Amino acid sequence: MTASDTIRIFDTTLRDGEQSPGCSMTPQQKVVMARALDALGVDIIETGFPASSESDREAARLIAREVRRPTLAVLSRCLPADIEASARVLDGTANPRLHVFISTSPLHREHKLRMSRQQVLDMTAASVAHARRLIGDVEFSAEDATRTEDDFLGEVIGVAIANGATTINVPDTLGYATPEETRALFARLIGTIPGAREVIFSAHCHNDLGLAVANSLAAIEGGARQVECTVNGIGERAGNCAVEELAMALKVRNAFYNLDTRIDTRRLVPTSQLLRRLTGMAIQRNKAIVGENAFAHESGIHQHGMLRHRGTYEIMNPADVGWPDSKLVLGRHSGRAAVGHRIRALGHTLDEPQLEQVFAAFKALCERQRVVDDNDLEALLHGDVHGRGWRLASMTVSDRGQRASAQVELSDPEGGKVTESALGDGPVDALFAALAAATGVELALESYQVHSVGVGRDARGEASVSLRHGDDVHEGSGTSRDIIEASALAWLDVANRILHRPRAAAPQAAHA
């Protein structure tokens, strides 16, 4: 793969991504994420905005010591003090880049900068030249480029190139552009500005209208050879172009684009999940590529097709992005073929009347719960769908004083009563500790979410948990008018699944 047929991936998860509300990371967490981005194969990592905080400066210095392969960039306003501070934190970096930016649109010039066109041109020239004297690799960004007058945008970029910029970024800062506009803009800039073909043009697209990936692909069609992305698409407001989506679009549609990236796509899911753990920001289940439902099928029609040939309903192999396999999720929309297939995979052989009986019980169970897992199927096969397990009798939770406390009374699988109490850092932490003490089941919390189901007087709280038991992660849910009780029911849902788990693990279903 040559430079001409490769799209450079400029990852700004640690800078623009971290600016997403709730996604702040410590310098040490940024180092962990930078190592993962290095392993993922990104070409450039933007480590921060040094003038904004000591935390960003420290993170840039720490990353520079440990990450040597990719280019490491830092962002700077077109101000002498910012540029010099940025250059200092890049000292000792194996492949440094100084990324300077200034706003160019009429709105920004008037209301943010309060500068004339000529003042913006003069500051661009002086700042790019200053940066180039300090660092050999300089990127220039015209903030809000897609809302800037065509003639002025071309003039600013021309000045930046003339003063030593090696990469020109044309940001769609507000996610305002359409793909056709973006394609035409890049083609026009690259085709008309003196020296444009001697530098790399870059796209930085935001997702305010849900077009960040589409606009980034359009920019590539217009001649851009660098795209600025973030893992999971995090970033200001609605986020940025998602690296996993862009990389897989170029890979799956390579015959159309005839371009690729250096991304090791098998690391997309692990990198996505690492960022989720570091920031605590959940990934929507239907998120392309890395969402839990990206390769999950519940519809009976789709499952039947998947059992015949994977290509009927998948355009990617899940292993190519880091998932172990596709998932045929058994739920209300599943058909007899998928249920029968899963029963056979669990090692059971049923004749038609037996399968009909189990399928009828399966459909009835789906009216009471969203997903039917292997443990539920085993219970159905043994006629014990309401089989004994741990049941919540009562609970008391207090969050007074320095630590929260919880006391639970449970009915055990034999019908006896068990009472335990525990302390925790919060009411849910204390509750889960008390449940673990009562059941003897140790579960590590991976994720926890609470949301409302229904409206008005009928509204109830639903808690969803992911809990690790040994090497396995189990999903559980519970519903109640009290969200703390719903949380207890979700935890016990997992504990009971483990209780009824078959002793020997069944092999996973394979798809043709």
Nearest to 8 by CA among 381, 263, 386: 263
> Which of 1-10, 52-61, 127-136 has the weakest average pLDDT?
1-10
Check residue 380 and give its pLDDT. 82
Q: Which two tokens mark 422?
A: 């525990």
Q: 28 pLDDT exceeds 70?
A: yes
pLDDT digits (tens, 9 = 90+) for 60-93: 999 999 999 999 999 999 999 999 999 999 999 9
Per-residue pLDDT tens over the stretch 324-339: 888 888 888 899 888 8
Select from 191, 226, 240, 224 the least CA-distant residue to 16. 240
Q: Which amino acid is at 246?
A: L
User: Domains in the chain, please, with CATH?
Assistant: 3-274 (3.20.20.70), 296-381 (no CATH), 391-499 (3.30.160.270)
Counting DSSP H helices and E strands in the chain, the numbers are: 17, 16
Q: How many CB atoms within 10 Å of residue 419?
A: 13
pLDDT digits (tens, 9 = 90+) for 348-372: 888 898 899 889 988 888 887 777 8
Looking from the CA of 104 toward its CB, the CA atoms found within 13 Å total 30
Pairing of strands 472-480, 460-469: antiparallel
Which stretches does DSSP call E strand in 118-165?
Answer: 138-143
Is 16 annotated as a binding-site member? yes
pLDDT at 386: 46
Task: Read off the amino acid at residue 96.
Answer: P
Region 102-110: mean pLDDT is 97
Predicted confidence band of residue 502 (pLDDT cuts 50, 70, 90): low
Residue 165 pairs in a beta bridge with none
Residues ≥6 apart with Cβ < 8 Å to 291: 283, 284, 285
pLDDT-based confidence at residue 501 (cuts at 50, 70, 90): low
Of these ranges, 243-257, 314-328, 385-399, 400-414, the one predicted with the greatest mean pLDDT is: 243-257
pLDDT at residue 511 in the model? 39
- For residue 303, what are the CA distances in angstroms to 185, 245, 294, 312, 324? 43, 24, 14, 10, 18
Tokens of 157: 């970029």
Cα 172 to the chain's mean position, in Å?
A: 21
Average pLDDT of the segment spanning 260-272: 97
> In this model, does residue 387 exceed pLDDT 60?
no
- pLDDT of residue 512 exceeding 70, the answer is no
What phi, psi does 238 have (nearest 5°)?
-85, 0
pLDDT at residue 347, rounded to an integer: 78
Residues with Cβ within 8 Å of 353's Cβ and at least 6 positions away in sequence, in order, are: none
Please give the structure tokens belonging to residue 478.
Answer: 């519970």
Residue-level pLDDT at 388? 64
Task: Using the predicted structure, report yes or no on whether residue 431 has a pLDDT greater than 80.
Answer: yes
Q: What percent of the chain has pLDDT over 70?
A: 94
pLDDT at 16 over 80: yes
**204 marked as part of a ligand binding site:** yes
pTM, rounded to two decimals: 0.77
- Residues paired with 468 in a beta bridge: 444, 473
| pLDDT score recorded for residue 157 | 98
**Type of residue found at 12:** T
CA 264 to each of CA 261, 269, 325, 435, 506: distance values in angstroms, whole numbers, following the listed order = 9, 11, 18, 41, 31
Question: According to the model, what pLDDT value does residue 127 have?
Answer: 98
Does 13 score more than 70 pLDDT? yes
Question: Which pLDDT belongs to residue 243?
Answer: 98
Percentage of residues of the chain with pLDDT beyond 90: 69
Higher pLDDT, 273 or 367: 273
Judge whether residue 510 has pLDDT over 60.
Answer: no
What pLDDT sits at residue 384? 57
Q: What average pLDDT does the chain have?
A: 91
Q: Are 409 and 428 in contact (CB under 8 A)?
A: no
Continuous H helices in 253-387? 254-257, 268-279, 300-308, 336-345, 352-366, 374-381
> Is residue 341 over pLDDT 90?
no
pLDDT at 506: 39
Q: Dump pLDDT digits (tens) for 161-184.
A: 999 999 999 999 999 999 999 999
Q: Is 215 annotated as a binding residue?
A: no
State how far Cα 111 lies from the chain centre: 34
Amino acid at 70: P
Q: Does the pLDDT at position 482 exceed 80?
A: yes
pLDDT number for residue 454: 64
